[in-house]
Structure 1
Amino acid sequence: MKLRRRKYIEKQAKQHTLQESNVPSDNKSLSDQLTDNKEELKKLYANCSDVVFRSFFLNGKEDALLVYIDGLTQVEEIDDNVLAPLMKKTYAEQGSVRELLKKKVAVASVTEVETYTNCVSEISVGNPVVILEGSSTGFSLGLAKPETRAISEPSSESVVRGPREGFVESLHVNRALLRRKIRSPQLKMETIEIGTYTKTTVIISYVSGLADETLIKEVRNRVARVEIDGVLDSGVLEEFIEDYPYSPFPQVLTTERPDVAAGSLLEGRVVILVDGTPFVMIAPVSLYSFLQASEDYYMRFIMSTLIRWLRYAFLVISLLLPSFYVAVITFHQEMVPTALLISMAASREQLPFPALIEALIMEVTFEALREAGIRLPKQIGAAVSIVGALVIGESAVTAGIVSAPMVIVVALTGIASFTIPRYSQAIALRMLRFPMIILAGTLGILGIMLGIIAIVIHLSTLRSFGVPYLSPMAPMKSGEMKDTLARAPWWKLNARPHFTGAYNEHRQSASQKPNPGKGEE
């Protein structure tokens, strides 16, 4: 079996290598013969009806070729600012062709390209390329068509108080949104291209002097070593760069909000932007990063602290309430007050299933309704999920399939899971809820304790780019506890989080507590 599997893997590797060899990515230099360049580019773009090859006379005497993709390029700008001035004979005596292109073409960006690979890269992003007779250098014109949706508030991270803008699918817009937040030249953005076919642009962003150089190097190495056919979303790249791919807990924070990304950059973290998706990735992170919302830092610190405590309480409820109910009903009835126990026993008298099966049925049904509400059109999705839950719950109780207390427990659990700000963390807790229910139904409270111990041990072993997942509580860093379980006032948050290696500790001046009664001397 091992020999057969090895042969199969070698065969698949050969097929993948053959596919890569057929990819039109010739790295040869351009020829000084326009005819050869045109034939080579047409060979690369064979059967591509949207690629336009426009031949014209430059200065009325020299041949030139313009290549662009219809739909990705501003055709009107080509007509007005490229073809019109270049084809006029009045420029014939005003210098060389190279000077003419750089001085007379009304385009902000003119870049020289010397290989077919560079030509294909520029044409693929929407920039037209001009190739001249007798020159082995082409010119890429920055006339890509910026098709993107309008900037709007992210639907998955809405706030009562805070900025209303969110990232979009255009990398240029997302990059500009970050620049608007952090206007210092210390904000660095390194570009890496990933994907054999998609040629997706990925930007690694950090603030020089705040982010540790070891962390930046690690992020750069992990992203650069990814070899794949294409990256269509940041979620694809996330699976290649995380520390523990088999863990249910996310080790990279994703957000659609520029203020969240900018705040993370100012804390010394690294932000990864992927072209074609509004979700950017932030690393390193801890468990507590997923329980903090951007609005926590815009409200008064007292209210933010109370809301955080509420989130932590509902996190425990979301994970343990169904399993605790199953354990009590099955093994530990003495923990329930007598009056309540009699009421619960009466509601379960005619049920055909034990509490374990009952809980699993209700949880699976609730998850199915939640998934259906997400996948259905927005106009009917919410109505179907809410009405479906009410109708199915009432019908199941009337038919004697489940008890009314179980419906209440599952409903409270669902509401509790909605209080977790990050969807990826909420999914992890929803998945862990099922093994916890099974442990409670087989071992009772002991099973719940064993499950909690296993989860805590697993969380203690996790790392996010080398940073402990339970930091700053394990290992304990008392100086960083001001922004973990509680949110201290801004005038007390003087130090940045400490991740790895050397870091810039001070984020603001000390002793800035408001003191209106103290006048200037």
Structure 2
Amino acid sequence: MFTSSYEANRKKLSDLLRCDDCFDIIERNIVISGKKAVIFYINGLIKDDIMEKLMEFFYNHTEPRYLSSAEEFCRHCVPYVEISVVDQPDEVVKNVLSGIPCLIAEGFTAAISFDMRTYPQRSTSEPEDDKVLRGSKDGFVETVIFNSALIRRRIRSANFVTKAMTVGSESKSDVIICYMDNKVDHTLLHDITDRIKNLDIANLSMNQQSLIEALYQKKWLNPFPKIKYTERPDVAAAVCLKGNIVILVDNSPSALLIPTSIFDVLEEADDYYFPPITGTYIRITRYLITIASVLLTPLWLLCLQNPELVPPVFQFVLQIEPTSLPIYWQLIIMELCIDGLRLAALHTPSSLTSAIGIIGAIAFSQFAVNAGWFTTASTLYVAFVTIANYSQPNYELGFSLKYARFILLTATYIGNITGFIIGIIILFFLLASNKTISGKSYLYPLIPFKPKELKKKLTRTRMKQN
């Protein structure tokens, strides 16, 4: 608590903020109507023009009777909208370190905070990895206030709630839970809210991923994603309007969508920006390509191991060049090489990315075939599954599909037809045993079977009017 001594209050805050050690934490001493005052703020995180106007007002203020308390001063003398009175020094420190200037003066037993913070940010342009052919072209940024405003702009309803919390004893990261109060599952909402409030961690070093792993520590052995991420505010708004929950974390340009099933992960905004028949075609095509990306190379390996079972119309798949490296190892090595190229492209300067991609494609295709490392067919099939992975933008699901291919390829290589069947059973078990954050089936509405809901997931139906 603050005391009635101005000097004691000023020194306490100065010591807590370590103003003498930090060049960017400013302790600005001023005089208001003959009384000493001080403003603490972070240089670079405030709106200079607003601060200049406030300082001008403070210097011209000539009513000392209103300086009897922080509440009186706010009520009669502060020409700014976003202000609050804070009577706890720790709360003042948190505000200042968040970019909110705080003022104390002689006669005050509390501080006044002015929310005039501004954060360096990039423009709200369309996300690079979540583009649409139609629809809005804005995207989330690293500032949580702007992200919540982008959703609020699309939902002009009093039922839309944004609940703010702070996580991390050191980082004190801002976390916002967004939901429609008249549609959300309140049991799930209270569970998530309580979990976040009771988190005992120092910081969210990896933003959203740190938050989710801290909330659900024992549910990550299954590779299939339990959370859907989006960088699109229109998608986040649509999810809220369906009754789901959106979590925003400061310094992260994406939102967490809860709960999430496998069908939710496979959905895209383009499904809804086109007429129902086109949206249905796009969605079904994505489902088929996703399934093909998992089954194509294991089925081809199975055909090569059992040529007598291949129908005559598909005999062409058996025509491969002679090579000393088994097909199984060719497929595995090429998968690893492609991941290596992807990592190399990610860390390559943008001016060289295209050149690296072209060189990599040539080196690991024609040259590798000519050298006798790989066959043309194996290169073709791996190229297809690699491109097919980009039919959906979810990175986590892409890696999950890759692990599924590894399981099927290994099971088929070891156990032939029996191994392929066992691999399919293992994958189905992983999908069926995976649970959403809410504890519901990951395959809903397939398991439990709800035909009407499943139809909505597989096809794009016309929007119903209220």
- TM-score norm. by structure 1 comes to 0.84
What is the distance in 1 between the residues matched to 2:69 and 2:203? 38
Judging changes above 3 Å, is the alpha-carbon distance between structure 1 residues 370 and 93 closer, same or farther for their aligned structure 2 residues? closer
The reply on whether 1:212 has 2:185 as its aligned counterpart is yes
Judging changes above 3 Å, is the alpha-carbon distance between structure 1 residues 384 and 37 closer, same or farther for their aligned structure 2 residues? same
What is the distance in 2 between the residues matched to 1:308 and 1:95? 64
The reply on whether 1:130 has 2:117 as its aligned counterpart is no
Alignment match of 1:247 (pick from 207, 219, 222):
222
The reply on whether 1:408 has 2:380 as its aligned counterpart is yes
Q: How far has the Cα of 1:193 moved from its partner?
A: 0.4
5+ residue gaps, structure 1: 1-28, 492-507, 510-521
Question: Which residue does the alignment assign to 1:497?
Answer: none
Q: How far has the Cα of 1:198 moved from its partner?
A: 1.0
1:372 aligned counterpart, secondary structure: helix
Alignment match of 2:444 (pick from 471, 474, 477):
471
Question: Which residue does the alignment assign to 1:173?
Answer: 146
Question: Which residue does the alignment assign to 2:269?
Answer: 294
Question: Which residue does the alignment assign to 2:331?
Answer: 359
| Residue pairs, 1:180-329, within 5 angstroms | 180-231=153-204, 232-242=206-216, 244-329=219-304
Judging changes above 3 Å, is the alpha-carbon distance between structure 1 residues 438 and 410 closer, same or farther for their aligned structure 2 residues? same
What is the distance in 1 between the residues matched to 2:379 and 2:159? 54
5+ residue gaps, structure 2: none
Question: Which residue does the alignment assign to 2:407?
Answer: 435
| Residue pairs, 1:52-91, within 5 angstroms | 52-60=26-34, 62-81=35-54, 83-88=55-60, 90-91=62-63
2:455 aligned counterpart, secondary structure: coil
Amino acid at match of 1:234: Q
Judging changes above 3 Å, is the alpha-carbon distance between structure 1 residues 459 and 346 closer, same or farther for their aligned structure 2 residues? closer
Question: Which residue does the alignment assign to 2:123?
Answer: 150
Question: Residue by residue, what CA displacement relative to the aligned partner does 1:280-323 show, whole Å, maximum 9, x if unpaired?
Answer: 00111111111111110121111121222211211122112122
Is contact 2:47-2:118 (8 Å) kept? yes
What is the distance in 1 between the residues matched to 2:223 and 2:107? 59
Is contact 2:169-2:201 (8 Å) kept? yes
What is the distance in 2 between the residues matched to 1:346 and 1:188? 60
Q: How far has the Cα of 1:49 moved from its partner?
A: 2.0
Superposed CA RMSD? 2.1
Question: Which residue does the alignment assign to 2:432?
Answer: 460
Judging changes above 3 Å, is the alpha-carbon distance between structure 1 residues 252 and 487 closer, same or farther for their aligned structure 2 residues? same
What is the distance in 2 between the residues matched to 1:403 and 1:337? 22
1:293 aligned counterpart, secondary structure: coil
Question: Residue by residue, what CA displacement relative to the aligned partner does 1:247-293 show, whole Å, maximum 9, x if unpaired?
Answer: 10111111011111111111110111111111100111111111111
What is the distance in 2 between the residues matched to 1:355 and 1:73? 61
What is the distance in 2 between the residues matched to 1:368 and 1:156? 19
Alignment match of 1:121 (pick from 94, 97, 109):
94
Q: How far has the Cα of 1:128 moved from its partner?
A: 1.2
Amino acid at match of 2:263: Y
What is the distance in 2 between the residues matched to 1:343 and 1:429? 23
What is the distance in 2 between the residues matched to 1:434 and 1:286? 23
Judging changes above 3 Å, is the alpha-carbon distance between structure 1 residues 167 and 343 closer, same or farther for their aligned structure 2 residues? closer
What is the distance in 1 between the residues matched to 2:311 and 2:361? 29
What is the distance in 2 between the residues matched to 1:95 and 1:403? 84
Judging changes above 3 Å, is the alpha-carbon distance between structure 1 residues 387 and 344 closer, same or farther for their aligned structure 2 residues? farther
What percent of counterpart residues are identical? 29
Judging changes above 3 Å, is the alpha-carbon distance between structure 1 residues 70 and 259 closer, same or farther for their aligned structure 2 residues? same
Judging changes above 3 Å, is the alpha-carbon distance between structure 1 residues 100 and 477 closer, same or farther for their aligned structure 2 residues? same
Amino acid at match of 2:337: T
Question: Which residue does the alignment assign to 2:81?
Answer: 108
Is contact 1:233-1:276 (8 Å) kept? yes
What is the distance in 2 between the residues matched to 1:199 and 1:342? 61
Judging changes above 3 Å, is the alpha-carbon distance between structure 1 residues 30 and 444 closer, same or farther for their aligned structure 2 residues? same
Alignment match of 1:448 (pick from 413, 417, 420):
420
Judging changes above 3 Å, is the alpha-carbon distance between structure 1 residues 221 and 393 closer, same or farther for their aligned structure 2 residues? same
Is contact 1:328-1:444 (8 Å) kept? no
Q: How far has the Cα of 1:149 moved from its partner?
A: 1.7
Q: How far has the Cα of 1:104 moved from its partner?
A: 3.0
Question: Residue by residue, what CA displacement relative to the aligned partner does 1:378-433 show, whole Å, maximum 9, x if unpaired?
Answer: 33224422431233211110011111111111111112111123222112111222
What is the distance in 2 between the residues matched to 1:213 and 1:145? 33
Judging changes above 3 Å, is the alpha-carbon distance between structure 1 residues 116 and 342 closer, same or farther for their aligned structure 2 residues? closer
Q: How far has the Cα of 1:244 moved from its partner?
A: 1.9
246-255 or 229-238, which deviates more = 229-238
Question: Which residue does the alignment assign to 1:334?
Answer: 308
Question: Which residue does the alignment assign to 2:348?
Answer: 376
What is the distance in 1 between the residues matched to 2:425 and 2:383? 26
1:361 aligned counterpart, secondary structure: helix
Amino acid at match of 1:248: P
Is contact 1:290-1:421 (8 Å) kept? no
Is contact 1:211-1:269 (8 Å) kept? yes
- TM-score norm. by structure 2 comes to 0.93
What is the distance in 2 between the residues matched to 1:253 and 1:150? 23
Question: Residue by residue, what CA displacement relative to the aligned partner does 1:446-465 show, whole Å, maximum 9, x if unpaired?
Answer: 21211111111121122211
Is contact 2:17-2:93 (8 Å) kept? no
Amino acid at match of 2:147: N
What is the distance in 2 between the residues matched to 1:191 and 1:71? 24
